Amino acid sequence: MDKVIFGDNQFFGVNHLSEERARQHMKKFKDIRNILNVLDYVNDIGIKTFMVTTYDKVEHICEHVKRNTARYKDFKINPCLPYAHKYANSVAANGILGTLKKYLGGNLLQSVSKGGVALAKKDFTKMMELLVDAELAMFKGVNIEAVFLQNVVTDLLLGLGMYDFFLSFSDYVKERYGAQPGFITMNMPLLVDVLEERNVENPLICSSINKINFRMSGGIDLYRTYLAGKNIQAIAMQVLAAGAINPEEAVEFIGSLNGVDAVLFGSSSPKHILDTKNLIEKYL
């Protein structure tokens, strides 16, 4: 796994520090060419892993990478699914049944409709597999290293106690796509315990890690213990704590921890991208 991982929040208007800046980014990156220009720069300076949410424009990104195979040699795209807004928008436009039909297909939908909740629970794993396949269809032909389950789902399943789902997801991603299963979470310690109990070996976990406990359930001391003592592949995100920590101070702190393997960050500024890359390579 690469130490430096580039993320995509800035491309669809996510900025934890400024709503105005988020709006500016959303307006700028409506034009796919602006996204591709940033990715060309990221790739050219040697950042070779891109974590991306499965929103609609990703299809254009994948096509761009496939059209430029020589330039994007060794470039890896790691999908993060599901993209919740896509399903919310579909429900608003098509209703719940229309959305299920669109993403799950008619046969399973008909069975669930006839069998009710009991059958829906029985077919939950199959529904997961169909949704994963639907989300990953646009990535055919690109180099996928890992497939991540978004924290909105990971942490919901943790809260509901639906722990067996993680093993089913892990097995399916490995067997169907030959990729590493990854999990994004705001509760890394609990997730590690759950995965360990279900014999998910050396899991790939992306979680908020920073020196002020921003979005870290359990706090930094507990995270230190798990990072140093558990067999996991740890990716640190939100290391700047939404801008509350100076970049060099933030990355230096991450580098001082025993057990962090990579840092995920997003930016649209070439200078900020290069500066952050250099800091990660310096301290990690």
Is pLDDT at 120 greater than 60 in this prediction?
A: no
3 state SS for the chain: CCCEEECCHHHHCCCCCCHHHHHHHHHHCCCHHHHHHHHHHHHHCCCCEEEEECCCCHHHHHHHHHHCCCCCCCCEEEEEECCHHHHHHHHHHHHHHHHHHHHHCHHHHHHHHHHHHHHHHHCHHHHHHHHHHHHHHHHCCCCCCEEEECHHHHHHHHHHCCCHHHHHHHHHHHHHHCCEEEEEECCHHHHHHHHHHCCCCCCEEEEECCCCCCCCCCCHHHHHHHHHHCCCEEEEECCCCCCCCCHHHHHHHHHHCCCEEEEEECCCCHHHHHHHHHHHHHHC
Average pLDDT over residues 223-241: 97
- pLDDT tens-place string over residues 49-103: 999 999 888 999 999 999 999 999 999 999 999 876 665 555 557 665 565 566 6
Domain formed by 4-83+134-283, architecture: Alpha-Beta Barrel (3.20)
Could you tell me which residue, 124 or 41, shows the higher pLDDT?
41
Res. 5 pLDDT band, cuts 50 70 90:
very high
Average pLDDT over residues 8-28: 65
pLDDT of residue 56: 81
Rounded mean pLDDT of the chain?
A: 88
